[in-house]
Chains A and B, each alone.
Chain A
Amino acid sequence: MIQCKTSKEIGGMGHSVKRKEDDRFVQGKGKYIDDINLPGMLFMDIKRSPYAYAKITNIDKDSAMAVEGVLAVVTGKDLEQYNLHWMPTLMSDTQMVLPVDTVMHQSQEVAAIIATSREAARDGREALQVDYDVMKPVVDPFKALDDDAPLLRPDKEGQKDNQAWHWEVGDREATEKAFSEAEVVVKEKMHIPRIHVASIETCGCVADYDKVENHLTMHMTTQAPHAIRTVIALVAGHVGLTEEKVRVIAHDIGGGFGGKVPVFPGYVVAIAASFLIGKPVKWIEDRSDNLTNGFARDYHIEAEMAGTKDGKIQATRMKVLADHGYTDGAANPSKFPTGMFSIGTGSYDYPTAFMEADAIYTNKPPGGVAYRCSFRVTEAVHAIERITDRYALEVGKDPADVRFQNFIKKDQFPYQSPTGWEYDSGDYHAGLELALKTVEYDKLRAEQAEKRKKGELMGIGLSTFTEIVGAGPSKDFDILGIKMFDSAEIRVHPTGKAIARFGTKSQGQGHETTYAQIIAEELGIPSKDILIEEGDTDTAPYGLGTYASRSTPTAGAAAAIAARKLRDKAKKLAAYLLEVSEDDLEWEPGKWFVKGAPEKAKTIQELVFAAYTNHPQGMEAGFEATHYYDPPNLTFPSGAYICVVDIDPDTFEIKVRRFVAIDDAGHIINPMVAQGQVHGGLTQGLAPAMYEEIIYDEDGNALNGTLMDYLVPTAVESPSWETGHTVTPSPHHPIGAKGIGESPTVGAPPAIANAIVDALKPYGITHMDIPITPAKIFEKLKEMGVLDKDITAEA
């Protein structure tokens, strides 16, 4: 299945090359944000609001200034003098940097304390007295539009209620008609709860403003350094920090998953503090600060499916209430307020769909940036995969059969979806067949039937999803107006070794290894000889960063094309050196040779050397190429996942017995790294399915703001994942790759939820909201009055 065109020595695509970055990581030599220490550096801590909604009546700066080592207390009023107290969000909403008078969510930044040590800054935070007039917050998004709900955003012109925006796609009338005429209609209400990426490293920065040079170096945990530089220039250009005066450096990042895309107020305050004081200022979030700021998901979805009695899907309809917190702080492409939610028609062939969403302001933290997912794909996939199972149940068919019956067929690609996407390629049948064969599906169903007779709870869940990644084509995709291309620049040195720089930024994905493999594949220079550098805006070409599984689809493509430009140059050099016509040359990885005379050849290293020492007159010297890749379409990875669960009939403890994930991400660059991404993504799919949710009470208190209560799965909860691939290359991507890092996080939750609901089928359960916990099952059965039901009778 995975084939290599290059030798192991060259180490191009398909080789499980060991990762270059690991030598420093296993020896404790990674350089993360908190490892940056600059001479004269000061420390910043942030006082946060204990209340979800309150007027600030007084901030007694003296109370903190009295602490030894505290140098300054910065409030919203201080920033207001420079017009730095607010900033635009990536969704063109507005967010407070520090509040001037009102706090809008618990843990919101209230004031920054600058001190000579981390401890003094924390002491100052504790000592700072802030008085509030507490108001009743809007916590439940369904009540946010009630007449008596307070208007949360009177600062926004024309804002009359707590709705942020409305969005819709598809054909409303045709969908209504299809539903009214359908033989079978099913509907479920689902909540995809608020969760947090909880990367093990929190967010932080060291803002280093040089007064003499009027220059800011911003060391920070960001997945998108260039975009951040532009945002800083947009926010602070009026005080002299124009874009050439700003350098953003993202060093090693301890996990991102989308949580390090936003511009958090802490970064801006650190810049302001360094700007005002003239010294470097370090800010590192603690875990609770991290968990109670920013979030992913929080979509309330009404999903409906219409179809025939014999299992043919005819239409779907989805209605979303999106809880955005007090501002829309998401990071979607501008034209897509719900991100890629419109992929929610799934892997199935039917002509009619309609989706709409209403975004709501509440007194919760802003965010809505993905948790290892491409812009709301997870929400969409959960809805379609759950409602497909619900439909299968209704028509009395096996969920695998319903999927086979409705899959878009291999020869239907490129496929136009009813919500406007053009799926590039796929072979959904092959993926599901491999998954079913691997788990021995028929045997499992037989075992389940036997177990049900004995009152044992066993469930099998499927998820056959289509992802949409690699944003994106410039005609539709931009963030704050900047088109979502990405870039690669390759410089090959005279001795044939290279450095390549990218606009993306790895947070553990292994770019230092895999990008080198792409270049090795195209140019034949061994991947070990190619150094990869990212994250420094002074040296890397402009790019939009790493998130939404876009690195391989965009920057990976840029690397391949830049390398091809160099291969073409090498061909010219070879023709010159071998004294033949270019047409007479043939390429094999690592050398150009004369057709029919393979002994007449020049290696890439010889050709590069010639580019510096003996290039033909009229040819530009050197061996460098840059490419900004504007993808013609998105890529559409897919997967077929099967989960098997056993549930204890007394305690309802859920055990994932097996989980098989077959992914199709097109051509694979490094099977070991790709598999690692799938493993990790699966555990991050398990997490929201069974464990994670940020819970808010009616006062807007976040009730689980520590890792004691926010349950990140350990090695014990996480099962031993079984993974595999089918390979359906993307037809438009230069190396036929599609992106892999997020598919498992997207595909796993519905497979797990479907398995659990399947196990509980004898009780008459048709849906449960994630995270599904033993307590939730108990409560649900109690509420349904079936706790003591004899389920053996159902078998």
Chain B
Amino acid sequence: MMKKQITLKINGEEFSGEVEPRTLLVHFIREQVKLTGTHIGCDTSSCGACTILINGKSAKSCTVLAVQADGKEITTVEGLATAEGVHPIQEGFKENHGLHCGFCTAGMMLRAVELLEKNPNPSEEDIRWGISGNLCRCTGYNNIVKAIQYAGAKMRGEETPSTEPVFVE
């Protein structure tokens, strides 16, 4: 099959590669760029495990052809942390037990990053609708909501809410 040369920026680094026209962006990222933090959970863009940012907007990379990403700027989970440390969303997920198996986490976090950029102080309902394109099978979502609220507070420069679990007594 005819291959096509593409060049894109992934997590700030330029990357060129040859791809078949049918190659999905997620396969390009995982197999050619060898960044395996982006996962594949379905084939129908239902689960969101493969969510990345393309030019700052979240996209399900299993539904984007690699050639469509030519010339674009991509952020994957590997690009969230900086020299100063992890991104507030990563801290939020860890501190609030927003993940169990970790498989959906990358996609969840990248989706949340865009959500918080557009809506820095989302309500619980905003968050639940905002991540409704991403499936998590382990957590029951309570703590994902908490994690995103925590990251929002941190990004707004406010005091972060308590991460202690709350029980009815």
Contact = CB atoms under 8 A, between A and B. Distances in A.
Interface of A: 1, 16, 18-19, 21-32, 34-35, 118-119, 197-202, 252-257, 286-288, 434, 438, 507-510, 660, 662, 671-673, 675-684, 706-708, 712, 714-716, 718, 720-725
A255 B38 CA distance: 16
B101 A255 contact: yes
Interface of B: 20, 22-23, 27, 30-31, 35-44, 46-47, 49, 76-78, 80-81, 86, 90, 93-95, 97, 99-106, 109, 124, 127-129, 131-145, 164-165, 167-169
A680 B138 contact: yes
A1 B165 CA distance: 14
Contacts of A287: 41-44, 47
Contact of B143 (A23, A31, A255, A679): A679
B168 A21 contact: no
Contact of A27 (B47, B81, B136, B144): B81
Contacts of B42: 287, 706-707
Given A438-B168, A680-B138, A724-B169, A28 B99 contact: no
B37 A27 contact: yes
B46 A721 contact: no
Contacts of B101: 199-201, 252-256, 507-508
A255 B101 CA distance: 6
A26 B94 contact: yes
A412 B114 CA distance: 56
18 contacts: A16-B165, A18-B94, A18-B97, A25-B105, A26-B77, A27-B78, A28-B38, A199-B103, A287-B43, A288-B43, A434-B168, A671-B165, A676-B143, A714-B133, A715-B132, A718-B140, A720-B124, A724-B167
A22 B99 contact: yes
Contacts of A676: 97, 100, 138-140, 143
A19 B94 contact: yes
Nearest to B128: A715
A201 B168 contact: no
B100 A34 contact: no
Main secondary structure of the interface of A (DSSP, over half): loop
A680 B140 contact: yes
Nearest to A202: B41
Contacts of A252: 101-102
Contacts of B124: 720
Given A26-B94, A707-B42, A715 B100 contact: no
Contact of B137 (A198, A286, A716): A198
B138 A662 contact: no
Task: From A438, A676, A712, name the one whose CB has the most chain B CB atoms within 10 angstroms.
Answer: A676
A288 B76 CA distance: 26
B94 A22 contact: yes
A684 B80 CA distance: 30
Contacts of B30: 34
A401 B31 CA distance: 60
Contacts of B132: 714-716
Nearest to A679: B140
B43 A286 contact: yes
Task: From B20, B44, B97, B132, name the one whose CB has the most chain A CB atoms within 10 angstroms.
Answer: B97
- Which 9 A-B pairs have CB atoms at the shortest separation, nearest pair first? A28-B37, A254-B103, A508-B101, A25-B102, A679-B140, A508-B100, A707-B46, A28-B77, A683-B140
A41 to B, nearest CB: 11
B38 A34 contact: no
Nearest to A117: B31
